[in-house]
Amino acid sequence: MEQYLTPQQIVAELDKYIIGQHEAKRNVAIALRNRWRRMNVPGEMRYEIMPNNILMIGATGVGKTEIARRLAKIADAPFVKVEASKFTEVGYVGRDVESMVRDLAEQAVLMVKSKKKEELKEKALQSVEEIILDALIPPVKENQMQKSTGFNVGETMASSDAELNEKTRNHFREKIKNGDLEDRKIEINIKGSAGAPMGMIGAGMMDDTTMMNLQEMLSGMMPKKPKKRKVTIAEARRILLDEEVNRLMDMDEVKDEAIARAQDAGIIFIDEIDKIASSGGKGGGPDVSREGVQRDLLPIVEGSSVNTKYGVIKTDHILFVAAGAFHVSKPSDLIPELQGRFPIRVELNSLSKEDFISILKDPKNALTKQYEALFAAEGVKISFADNALDRIAEIAYLVNAEVENIGARRLHTVMSKLLNEFLFDVPDKIGANANIVVTADMVSERLNNIIKQKDLSEFIL
């Protein structure tokens, strides 16, 4: 959680996954810690302190999105990534800017529900165990024998039947706990669905989120009949556990907590913001629409109230991180009001060959480690010589320089081109316990012809 991490600790966490970009990491770490500081400010001043939104400027593939995504994980905060180019001005068909806040509310609810599920799991498992036990050994009901025979029976006989039933149930309870009956089939009642989703006239005018919300509301109005299913005890436990957790969960409490979390800790990452910047010329055309999107975006970033199906969310303290390459336009091409809402500007550096080598080796989720895990799943060991990684980084850097600079994403295509033949041959030609060593000569042999070609566009790189 963010409150336990200082800015230096946040940067140290980001360093585990992202190479370089220390200035950007420092700024997002300060912004994240400032949120915790604000929550600990007493009195009215807490509501006056606004977040310092960040504008990250840099070419594609240098780590802008990854910084924001990892930041949300460190903070355990609701996080939404949107592309500014997907939005259209109010009055046009397309996604409206408020949908980003509705998406954030959805994420917050999912996070809170997930946390509550873990808290309720133990209690729900006990209830599920009793439901499974009832399906195996129905309990003796009070006066059951009297009702079935029409005569009074002695207390001794009734108590002995109940005692025997309880002993049998305890015996089976132990078997269920020990997992001895996992494959045994039982009949259970499960909640039925309300039928297939309905199509609606004019649905094309709505965005996906609105459409889903409307369908969910309509499906909630339809009666749901329980239905019987014959399943194994293992499957019954899984099905019933979800139902029981949902039954125990207080959805009003979930909604209240989710709204508070979205308002105070939410992070919205707006990518490709340069695509809605005017190119600098005057007149109509696309620039008018771009400026319209900026003006629609402005109240959300400034602070406004947005209606969601879970309640009203105030956007005053949501942290907005915007990013763009700004190759054609400049940050100054954004409308002045929107520029003012992103006071912190961070320019991310282009990646060098040395950065590529570090990206291949150092992060916790480094590409080489990912491929090692993929091959290990087949029982094959793959390792990379240092000179091989040096050559891979050199080729990726050269292709970026000569074709188009797509940053670290180039490493994915280079590694794929290099290793796809091995991946195709495992396990048919390369069996388990094989040991593959990737050397610089192997890299050169498989990838050098790409560099020599004048027209590189025919290659996947």
Position 430 pLDDT exceeds 60: yes
pLDDT digits (tens, 9 = 90+) for 282-313: 544 556 678 888 998 999 999 999 999 999 99
Position 104 pLDDT exceeds 80: yes
The residue type found at 385 is A
pLDDT of res. 303:
92
The one-character DSSP state at 226 is: -
CATH 1.10.8.60 spans which residues of the chain? 353-458
Prediction pTM value: 0.77
Tally of CB atoms within 10 A around 247: 11
Look up residue 227 and give its two tokens: 């239905």
E strands in 262-318? 267-271, 305-308, 311-314
Q: What is the CATH number of domain 353-458?
A: 1.10.8.60
Give the span between the Cα atoms of 393 and 411, in whole angstroms.
7
The band of 145, judged by pLDDT with boundaries at 50, 70 and 90, is: very low
pLDDT digits (tens, 9 = 90+) for 308-349: 999 999 999 999 999 998 988 889 999 999 999 999 999 998
Position 268 pLDDT exceeds 90: yes
Pairing mode, if any, of strands 267-271 and 311-314?
A: unpaired
CATH 3.40.50.300 spans which residues of the chain? 2-108+256-347
pLDDT of res. 149:
46
Overall average pLDDT of the 23-45 stretch: 90
Percent of the chain with pLDDT over 70: 80
Position 4 pLDDT exceeds 60: yes
- Nearest Cα neighbor of 357 from 322, 381, 385 is 385
Overall average pLDDT of the 404-423 stretch: 89
pLDDT digits (tens, 9 = 90+) for 226-259: 777 788 888 888 888 888 888 888 999 999 999 9
Q: Which CATH architecture has domain 2-108+256-347?
A: 3-Layer(aba) Sandwich (3.40)
E strands in 251-355? 267-271, 305-308, 311-314, 319-324, 344-347
| Burial category of 25 from C-beta neighbours within 10 Å (exposed 0-12, middle 13-18, buried 19 and up) | buried
Q: What is the 3-state secondary structure (H, E, C) of 40-103?
A: CCCCCHHHHCCCCCEEEECCCCCCHHHHHHHHHHHHCCCEEEEEHHHECCCCCCCECCCHHHHH
